[in-house]
Amino acid sequence: MSASRIKNLILLILLLTVVCLLIAVVPIRYAQVQSRRAENEQLSLLLAQYDIALDPDIIPESEILYSVELAQSEPSAAAAALLGQDAVKTEDSTRYESTFTGAAGSVSFATGGAISAEIIGRERTGNVERDARKVLRAIGFQPDTLQTVRSAGGEYTVTATQSLLGTAVFSDGLRLQYQDGALCAMEGIFYPGTAEMTRISEQTCISCADALVQLLSRRNELGWVGSGILRTTQGFLPSESASGAARFVPCWRIDTDTESFLINGITREVRRIEEG
């Protein structure tokens, strides 16, 4: 048999294999989707009995998430990206807070993720959000969302929230201040070194349905008088360990028509989100 016929035969076998796999997988996946849809509709009916409206379509499929911990990393690379290669760590830096200074200003990194920077001499930009994305990428910040607000004086504040493993981190975010079109300050929460993480739990995050049932069971205790679920979002809730390393617990954010809640995906603890 010629080499070309052998090659064609191998391709045909591979094609038939793929077709067989599709025939086997597609019905299973379809059944799973239909089953999840039925469960969501049942949950919607359950909440309706308590006069709480829920659209089954806003209930997402749960990601498999574990609690993780980030290794403490040296923030010198982020400082250099923000201030320039001449940035040096000051002598008063400690294991709990590292401060760097350079010709372009100063920046401090604290354990727990706090960052505060004053920046001078930066070039003006015609698009603050695009510039903010560039700065965030340079320091190793993986943005999940960006929101830009302009003040009456023409100054801009870009607030960025971070993502971890492609999932939102529920924190106050990082605020970038622009004056006269130039970045002049940065303050908020920043978790560097997100590539160096360790799984610290064997239990996976509860499903969105479980989180909603948990919120319903705590309704009276919480004093929640809402009548509708508006949004459900899976993400990570940051916390500190005894060593100062940042830990992240999977959770669900439930936004209702009156207030919002965080449901711990491991312990099922329900916490009200305090606005402002």
3 state DSSP class of 119: strand
Average pLDDT over residues 92-97: 81
8 pLDDT above the threshold of 80: no
pLDDT at 7: 57
pLDDT tens track for 75-94: 888 899 899 888 898 888 88
Q: Which of 8-22, 51-65, 137-151, 189-203 has the lowest mean pLDDT?
A: 8-22
Give the other-Cβ count within 10 Å of 244's Cβ: 12
Kindly report the average pLDDT of the chain as a whole number.
Answer: 84
pLDDT tens track for 45-78: 988 998 999 999 888 888 899 999 887 777 888 8
Average pLDDT over residues 176-203: 86
Give the other-Cβ count within 10 Å of 37's Cβ: 13
Q: What is the pTM of this model?
A: 0.77
